[in-house]
Structure 1
């Protein structure tokens, strides 16, 4: 469906690095590791 395609566009997602930085600076969490994605599984 068109709605499903819109949800899967890269622009629909926030940059995880930006989100982590904001949450860290707000004092809601601490950075403890940097992870690198290896792949995506859809099912």
Structure 2
């Protein structure tokens, strides 16, 4: 993963799980969870920009860019 910019606790305090579910579903991402409030932990805003992370890793020669994956689902238990 890209790494977090918000801890799980900070994400739950500052974001609402229902809002995160709506945002993900509006992007065509299926959401399955037994605990809607905990879904805040998986919000896009809780993570670093993966494109920036990949660019840094690629430029450092640690790895090569080979494919861009698109999320299709989030399962949070």
Aligned length, in residue pairs: 41
Identify the structure with the greater strand proportion: 2
Distance 1:11 1:38 in 2: 18
Equivalence for 2:46: 12
Query: Which sections of structure 2, spanning at least 5 residues, go unmatched?
Result: 1-8, 14-39
CA shift, 1:10, in A, is: 3.8
Task: For residue 40 of structure 1, give the secondary structure of its aligned residue in structure 2.
Answer: strand
Q: Tell me the TM-score normalised to structure 1 length.
A: 0.71
1:41 aligns with 2:75: yes
Q: Aligned Cα RMSD in Å? A: 2.0
Q: Aligned pair in 2 of structure 1 residues 37, 28: CA closer, same or farther (>3 Å)?
A: same
- Greater RCO, 1 or 2 (C-alpha within 8 Å, sep 6+): 2
